[in-house]
Amino acid sequence: MGFERVIFDSDRLAVYPKFEALDISPLLKVRAQPLRVLRFVADAHLGGLASLLRMSGFDTLYDNGFEDAEIAEIAAQQGRIVLTRDRELLKRRIISHGCYVHALKPSLQLRELYERLDLARSARPFSLCLHCNLPLHEISPELARPQVPPRIGALYSHFLRCDACQQIYWEGSHWRGMCALLAPLLNR
């Protein structure tokens, strides 16, 4: 409620930060209690950011079919921070932790979150599958080589695999590109 009616002695008041205040707070949260584990659910427009967060090792749910109500429900049930560029979504009462993302480009959105939520301390780069959001496991070159192009098998000896989608990751140009993106964020 606002101040549109007189408050009586018997009234019980709960005070929440004004919503606009979220924009200037370093850590945008609706409740005072910070979440111990940083886990996210990203809205349908933040697919690029979702995979960059996964690349950093942050458990991030994303599906471009998620409805707003579903996102709010997931956040409430699983203790996830809602990431969105839609202020209306953050106004849903069951969302206790939400973050309005200002930047438009995924790489800049990632930087914004690293700065505002101090992500560098808890980042575990290349620990999650970018597609499935599930842990990657190291596999031996012998196991990996039959499943990657021969040139890759000859060049690299360190491989990670997602048990869910079977995707194999190695330290190729794509990986190095991601490292270049992450390095300045992690070294802050």
Q: In the sheet that 159-162 helps form, which strands lie side by side, from edge to edge?
A: 136-139, 159-162, 168-170
Q: Which is nearer to Zn ion, 101 or 162 (CB)?
A: 162
Told to check if 139 binds Zn ion by CB under 5 A, we report: no
First to last CA, the chain: 41
Does residue 181 touch Zn ion according to CB under 5 A?
no
Q: How many angstroms from the chain centroid is the CA of residue 79?
A: 13
51 with 130: CB under 8 angstroms?
yes
Q: Are 162 and 129 in contact (CB under 8 A)?
A: yes
Q: Minimum CB separation from Zn ion for residue 137, in Å?
A: 11
The residues pairing with 98 across neighbouring beta strands, listed in sequence order, are 82
- Least separation, in Å, of the C-beta of 125 and Zn ion? 16
- Is 137 a binding residue for Zn ion by CB under 5 A? The answer is no
The binder of Zn ion chosen from 129, 160, 178, 185 (CB under 5 A): 129
Q: Which two tokens stand for residue 75?
A: 């956040």
**Judged by CB under 5 A, does residue 132 bind Zn ion?**
yes
- Give, for 40, the enclosing helix (H) or strand (E): strand 40-42
Applying CB under 5 A, what is the total number of residues that bind Zn ion?
Answer: 7
Asked if residues 92 and 78 have their Cβ atoms less than 8 Å apart, the reply is no
CB of 151 to Zn ion, least distance (A): 23
Using the contact rule CB under 5 A, the part of the chain among 48-56, 72-80, 123-131, 150-158 near Zn ion is 123-131
* Residues between 148 and 167 with contacts to Zn ion, criterion CB under 5 A: 162, 164-165, 167
| List of residues contacting Zn ion (CB under 5 A) | 129, 131-132, 162, 164-165, 167
